[in-house]
Amino acid sequence: MKQMPLTWIVEPTDEGRSLKELLYSRLLLSHSLVVKLKQQHKIAVNGIPVFTNYRLRDGDLISVDLDLGERSEILPEAVPLKIVYEDEDVLVVDKPAGMPVHPSNKRYQTGTLANAVTYYWLQSGHNALFRPINRLDKDTSGLVLIGKNQFAHQSIFRQQQKHRVERCYYALVEGAAMPDQGRIAEPIARLEDRSRKRIIAPYGQPAVTNYVVLERYLQHTMLQLHPETGRTHQIRVHLSFAGHPVCGDELYGRSSPLIARQALHAGEITFNHPRTGAAITLAAALPDDMRVALITLQQQGD
C-alpha cells in the first residue's frame, strides 16, 4: 500500500509561526522524526521543500513525506498472515499462538510475526522497519498493532502511554470461586536479571488488571479482562497471584489436558487513528483451541 504524505493546511491562527512549531504542535511529530525528515528534505510547503524556520502563511499546504527509505534487517519469510486491518499507517494482525512477535538472538530467528510482516510488505512494495506497538507472548494469540512508519508508531505509542489504547483479552482460568468482577492492582517485577518469570513485589512497576466473569464451569471460569497497564506477563501474573492461573500456563500455573498453551487471547483493541484521529475498534474471534476447550468443558458438565 502506497505511503501517503501527511498534510496540513495552515489556518489564520498559525500565520507567522515557524514551520517547526507547527510540526510539533499540530502534526505532533517528534524531534527525532523532524530531524530525519529535514535531513532527507521530506518537508514541503505548497510543493516546494523548505527549511523548518519558514514562516507560515494562511492557506499554505504543508506536506510531509513519511517514506524515509528505511531498510529492515529482518529476514523476510513467507509465513501466512491473518490481517484484520490495514491502511497507509497501520497494520493489525491476528497472531496465532506459538508465533513469537520478534526475532531473538538466543531463541528465534525465523517463524516470527516480524519475519512474516517483512515478507508481506516487500511483496506489496513497502519496505519499512517492523514497529509493533503492543506485544504478545509467544503462546498468547490475538491482535498485534503495528505502525507502518515512525509517525504512526510514535502517535499510537503516546496514546498507549496515556492509557488511551483500550485492550480486551479473554482467558480461561482454573477455579470457579472468582467474584463476578474485580480489579487486581499489584506491582510486577522481574524474578531475577536473566529470568523470563515475573513476580508480585512491592518494588515492582505498578500494574492494574480489571476482569469480568463471562461463564462459570465446575472447576474453571471464562473471563474478559481489561488491563490498564501493559507489563510483561501482566495478566498471567495477576491471575496466578489471585489463585486462578490461566489454564495451560506452565510458567505461572500448570499444564492442562484442555489446551496445549496458556488459554489467553487478545480479542479486541481500540485506538485513535494517528492521521485522522478517528476511533478504530477491531476484534479477533477466539481461536479454535480455546473454543474446543470451552466445548469440552460444556460436554463434561464442568
Active site residues: 137
Tell me how far apart the alpha carbons of residues 117 and 199 are, in angstroms, rounded to a whole number.
Answer: 32
Q: What is the dihedral of CA 58, 279, 80, 259, to 10 degrees?
A: 160
Question: Which among 186, 185, 138, 174 is positioned nearest to 253, based on CA atoms?
Answer: 174
Residue 139 neighbours by CB distance under 10 Å:
21
Contact 267, 170 (CB under 8 A): yes
Tell me how far apart the alpha carbons of residues 90 and 270 are, in angstroms, rounded to a whole number.
Answer: 13
Pairing of strands 198-200, 208-216: unpaired
At 125, the amino acid letter reads G
